[in-house]
Amino acid sequence: MEATNPEGITYKSAGVDIDAGNETVSRIKSHVRSSFQPEVMADIGSFGSMLDLGMVLKGYRNPILIQSIDGVGTKVTIGCKLDRYFGLGVDIVSHACDDILVHGARPVSFLDYVASQKLRPEVVEEIVKGMVSACRECGMSLVGGETAEMPPTYRVGEIDIVGCITGVVEKDELITGAAIRHGDVAVGLASTGLHTNGYSLARKVLLEVAALPLDKPMGELGGLTLGDALLASHKNYYPAFAKTREEKIPLNGMAHITGGGFIDNIPRVLPEGCSVRIQLGSWPVLPVFELIARHGRIVRDELFRTLNMGIGMVWFVNPSHADALIRTVNATDGFHAYRIGEVVPGDRKVILAG
Written out in words, the top-level CATH class of the domain with range 18-173 is: alpha beta
Break the chain into its structural domains and give their ranges.
Answer: 18-173, 185-353
pLDDT band at 5 (very low <50, low <70, confident <90, very high): low
The answer to whether the 18-173 and 185-353 domains have the same CATH topology is no
Average pLDDT over residues 262-267: 98
Please tell me the distance from the alpha carbon of residue 228 to that of residue 221, in angstroms, as a whole number.
Answer: 9
- 73-91 burial by CB neighbour count: b if 16+ within 10 A, else e? bbbbbbbbbbeebbbbbbb
Domain 185-353 has CATH 3.90.650.10: yes
Please tell me the distance from the alpha carbon of residue 311 to that of residue 338, in angstroms, as a whole number.
Answer: 9
pLDDT at residue number 32: 95
At 338 the three-state DSSP class reads: strand
Q: What value, to the nearest 5°, has the Cα angle with vertex 295 and ends 338 and 188?
A: 10
Please tell me the distance from the alpha carbon of residue 344 to that of residue 106, in angstroms, as a whole number.
Answer: 30
Tell me how far the alpha carbon of residue 135 is from its chain's centroid.
12
- Cα 105 to Cα 115, 177, 214, 350: the distances in Å are 28, 14, 37, 25
Question: What values do phi and psi take at 210, rounded to 5?
Answer: -85, -15
- 182-201 burial by CB neighbour count: b if 16+ within 10 A, else e? eebbbbbbbbbbbbbbbbeb
Residue range 8-49, pLDDT digits in tens: 888 787 778 888 888 998 999 999 999 999 999 999 889 999
User: Who has greater pLDDT, 6 or 56?
Assistant: 56
Q: Are 236 and 96 in contact (CB under 8 A)?
A: no
Residue range 134-187, pLDDT digits in tens: 999 999 999 999 999 999 899 998 999 999 999 999 999 999 999 999 999 999
Q: Is the pTM of this model over 0.85?
A: yes
